[in-house]
Amino acid sequence: MDSIIVTGGGPLHGTIPIAGAKNACLTLMPATLLSDEPLTLTNAPRLSDIRTMTLLLESLGAEVARLSDGLVLSMSSHNLNGNRADYDIVRKMRASILVLGPLLARHGEAVVSLPGGCAIGARPVDLHLKAFEAMGATLDLRDGYVHAKAPEGGLRGGVVDFPFVSVGATENALMAATLAKGTTTLKNAAQEPEIVDLAHCLQAMGAKISGEGTDTITIEGVDRLHGATHRVVTDRIELGTYMLAPLVAGGEVTCLGGKRALLESFCAKIEAAGATVTETPEGLTVKRTNGPMKAVDVETEPFPGFPTDLQAQMMALLCTAEGKSTLEEKIFENRFMHAPELIRMGADIEVHGGHATVNGVSKLKGARVMATDLRASVSLILAGLAAEGETTVGRVYHLDRGYEHVVAKLSGVGANIRRVKEDG
């Protein structure tokens, strides 16, 4: 099993290229199931989750080719031979549920296992199912699978009013509605950049969509979608993660391809904590403004609020900020599992349910720690950049799901970091 070893103490200087968005690409890939013509994605990230989605699509009969060292995905679903997404693949990743809408819309029925993924909360799929019911589908949950069937003649347009914002349910409903008969309205829809990116891809395939990026999306169903080529949007979570690195370790780093509009709330929060963020044609350049970072309070919210996927990394920064910070997790109910590991490094953190208090300490100390999920793993690496001595982060297979070449990217700006194989 691999571990990553970080020796802290040195400032970071240079540039870090930011990859295409994992969460966007995992949503765009199932869109190939909506058409019998090829869909090509450029700027694709090279991650284990992308490989898992590839296996899932291939199990349904889709063809997926990785070109240009994996940066281009060429997909075709002209010869699908199945509508069942089995547990053995789906259990590895929550995003697997996103094949349900496209299969139901194009083929009229689908059988999809309930998904797996990081253990950061229940994340139920009931909102997905309610959306399909609003389009006339009948659904049955049995033996760990969703059995879905469209009415005769296909899905029908309807009004889907989400009781709370759900990115995955918005994405699934949006894809399904492109081939439904009539007009579908998604109310209280998610507004994330990944939703906008999906809408733009579907529009390039011939879908009629308006209102993306707002809380109300309208879709006029069409008879068929055609092929397209689409560039995956920049990964705003990877962007935010590497923006924190020079704030934790000191120095100045430019994140190539970064745009402030992807992370406005995050940028405002780190500026309040003592960062300078400068947008240039190259990307976003980040450094400490003057002296140590200051405590701030953070509350995770749906976009355009502070992203839950950056909460763990922000906690790593606040461990050595001056003063007392609070973090309130309002998206997932079990997302402070990194706190005990940071405490092993000398952090002063108290967790009560969805609320954490961080009292900044003068320095962290290297220790052996264990990653519990994707974002927790990189938060421990960030903490290691600020720690005195050596930090060994175990179970980094989580990291491979969401960050490509993390060792190369950080060592490229001066971090003392390496990946090793350990027994056990």
Tokens of 193: 């950049």
Q: Report the binding-site residues.
A: 22-23, 94, 123-127, 309, 331
List C-alpha distances in Å: 224 to 210, 283, 291.
Answer: 18, 38, 58
d(CA 296, CA 360): 11
Active-site entry in 25, 118, 255, 319: 118
pLDDT in tens, 153-168: 999 999 999 999 999 9
d(CA 41, CA 56): 17
Q: Between 93 and 283, where is the model more confident?
A: 283
pLDDT band at 189 (very low <50, low <70, confident <90, very high): very high
**How would you class 424 by CB atoms within 10 Å of its CB: exposed for 0-12, middle for 13-18, buried for 19 or more?**
exposed
Domains 2-19+235-421 and 22-231 share a fold: yes
Query: If one looks up domain 2-19+235-421 in CATH, what number appears?
Result: 3.65.10.10
Q: What is the pLDDT of residue 123?
A: 46
Q: Report the binding-site residues for UDP-N-acetyl-alpha-D-glucosamine.
A: 94, 123-127, 309, 331
How many Å from the N-terminal Cα to the C-terminal Cα in the chain? 6
Is the per-residue pLDDT at 94 higher than 90? no
pLDDT band at 266 (very low <50, low <70, confident <90, very high): very high
Assigned CATH topology for domain 22-231: UDP-n-acetylglucosamine1-carboxyvinyl-transferase; Chain (3.65.10)
User: Domain coordinates of the chain in residue numbers?
Assistant: 2-19+235-421, 22-231
Q: With a threshold of 0.75, does the pTM exceed it?
A: yes
Q: Is 319 a catalytic residue?
A: no
Least confidently predicted of 26-35, 64-73, 415-424 = 415-424
Is the per-residue pLDDT at 119 higher than 70? no
Cα–Cα nearest to 130, from 211, 186, 202, 193 = 186
> Which 3 state secondary structure label does DSSP give 96?
helix
pLDDT in tens, 289-338: 999 999 999 999 999 999 999 999 999 999 999 999 999 999 877 789 99
Q: Report the binding-site residues for phosphoenolpyruvate.
A: 22-23
